[in-house]
Structure 1
């Protein structure tokens, strides 16, 4: 379902964080039957970041917000709402968003987690946009954060090569200049295919230290690849068509970074130039809900993304769910 929006909600700041520890392809060669050449050829990944044993998703999310504050000088103590997209919460209860609220010293705000897997960040933007347009809220933190290394089976060479940890945060505010508008959104879910990507055996835990070590990501990569090429490419084409834009008008395409082969194939099928696609896959691997803000922020920091640029953010993954956001960048 695509919605064309008349909006005055915009992104006003962005920040990211990745852990210090690097897991390279050479490291993985010593762990499982694989090779750097095999991994790069099939995924485009050269390394990924891994959270410390005592570092959890909420820690990464807080660091991403701190990074945003340091760079943009924004205050977050007065945010009205916090939305965290994650598939790897510290606990089932309390939410990561509640832990972020406490960690940042925010006294009065709503706080929720959402779980839309790799479409989580774009889905969270859509929710925040709706809350801001309601007029009830004025300032919302949207965060995508994952510690996928804690639920990765490092004996399964088909999945352990893919996943890394990281977080990205944006501040969304109402009443900003029109050039920063969220222009259009779309979302589609095909739940019948949900068994192709899932997290096994999740048990509630009371403390972060008690995180369920039996829970693992399970993925049928072949089926997910086929779905992405057909259904996700259709979703992207539909969003652009219904919002009145041609692929050539998009300055930057920021897809979920599942792997480089999927990104290249989506570009080919939608008519978006590969030079327009922003990727974080080489350095960070597949970071699920964090992949889009990581790729976007890298391009903001190096000057590729500029105010006035038209951006298409598009998440897709477990569910099987896809969601897109077309926006005009303003910072």
Structure 2
């Protein structure tokens, strides 16, 4: 028998404040049409004043627990993927533990920017397969509105805040590609591309949180190439082909990147979960948010084969193949 990390429970949370594209027309040289055409984004959610990343993460986590009737102490581990923590330390994961009332197990953060959830899933899978944990919650949570330069129309209109949570638990499989759970993963990074997407602040450099900076066009070209490659590599590792995929659940950064990647993989957009129009780019939160919406809408069903891929600052990128 083969141990698999199988999805058992999912949930998400979005802040109450919804910001349409038209809101930016008052302060920037931009329009709703300009933003929609270049990104596919129509609106996004922003956290309220005083609302932190851990606050969003807790709401998503509780929704995931409620989804399957579990309590926080039923978890062995909790991993939070985020680039916008409440504090330099302790980790957001330990804050979520405390707020959920989780008194056992362990928690830690993973920082791989927009690819963070893929890296966190890979870590959770390794913990389960190695026997270190039997039930792991993986959360992607971000408050990117805190690191925006509101004078930069090329970046500040693209991002939003939110959180999504997934519960993985150990189950026996037969070791074949028809098993439920995570079937394969592929993760990568290359620091030579750092300047394409970064934040110009930090504890040991400026002593400030800094603001997000991005080179849009070069990043777009890297994204389509690397997302396609990592997805195909992950499928090959699982012994599967793109023709067998029921759903691509991609990082929701830009509709043109999503469309370009699906086209190169030979997958129809009818088989792609798209939420970028409603959420914007929520970085590490975007994949679990999209998964949760896909399940809530009845599209993602037990037994479906999913491929999720993401790329973020670093550059860091990767993909996970899982059967729901």
Q: Given the two structures, how large is their TM-score scaled by the length of structure 1?
A: 0.92
Tell me the C-alpha RMSD between the 2 structures: 1.6
1:321 maps onto 2:316 in alignment = yes
Task: Give the alignment of 1:155-166 within 5 angstroms.
Answer: 155-166=151-162
Is the 8 Å Cα contact of residues 2 and 172 (structure 2) preserved in structure 1? no
> What's the counterpart of residue 288 of structure 1?
283
Is the 8 Å Cα contact of residues 21 and 52 (structure 1) preserved in structure 2? yes
d(CA) in 2 for partners of 1:227 and 1:70? 39
1:271 deviation in Å?
Answer: 1.1
1:27 maps onto 2:28 in alignment = no
d(CA) in 1 for partners of 2:237 and 2:135? 29
> What's the counterpart of residue 61 of structure 1?
57
Given the alignment, which residue of 219, 232, 242 partners 2:227?
A: 232
Task: Give the alignment of 1:195-214 within 5 angstroms.
Answer: 195-203=195-203
> What's the counterpart of residue 113 of structure 2?
117
Q: More deviation in 142-151 or 268-277?
A: 268-277
d(CA) in 2 for partners of 1:175 and 1:295? 24
Return closer, same or farther for 1:14/1:177 CA change in 2, 3 Å cut-off.
Answer: farther
Q: More deviation in 306-315 or 243-252?
A: 243-252
Task: Give the alignment of 1:64-75 within 5 angstroms.
Answer: 64-75=60-71
Given the alignment, which residue of 143, 149, 153 partners 1:153?
A: 149
1:237 deviation in Å?
Answer: 2.2
Deviations 1:8-64 (A, max 9, x none): 221100010000001110101112110011100000000000001110100000000
Aligned with 1:8: secondary structure? strand
d(CA) in 1 for partners of 2:265 and 2:102? 42
Task: Give the alignment of 1:30-49 within 5 angstroms.
Answer: 30-49=26-45
> What's the counterpart of residue 171 of structure 2?
175
d(CA) in 1 for partners of 2:121 and 2:250? 14
Aligned with 1:69: secondary structure? helix
Is the 8 Å Cα contact of residues 7 and 181 (structure 1) preserved in structure 2? no
Given the alignment, which residue of 261, 272, 276 partners 1:277?
A: 272
1:177 deviation in Å?
Answer: 6.0
Given the alignment, which residue of 240, 256, 262 partners 1:261?
A: 256
1:70 deviation in Å?
Answer: 2.7
1:213 deviation in Å?
Answer: 6.8
Give the aligned length.
Answer: 318
d(CA) in 1 for partners of 2:239 and 2:50? 48
Aligned with 2:72: secondary structure? coil
Q: Given the two structures, how large is their TM-score scaled by the length of structure 2?
A: 0.94
Is the 8 Å Cα contact of residues 22 and 49 (structure 1) preserved in structure 2? yes
- Which runs of 5 or more residues in structure 2 are unaligned? none
1:281 deviation in Å?
Answer: 0.3
Q: More deviation in 234-243 or 193-202?
A: 234-243
1:77 maps onto 2:77 in alignment = no
Return closer, same or farther for 1:177/1:104 CA change in 2, 3 Å cut-off.
Answer: farther
d(CA) in 2 for partners of 1:38 and 1:176? 50
Task: Give the alignment of 1:7-22 within 5 angstroms.
Answer: 7-22=3-18
Is the 8 Å Cα contact of residues 10 and 176 (structure 1) preserved in structure 2? no
Aligned with 2:79: secondary structure? strand
1:6 deviation in Å?
Answer: 4.8
Is the 8 Å Cα contact of residues 201 and 208 (structure 2) preserved in structure 1? no
> What's the counterpart of residue 192 of structure 1?
192
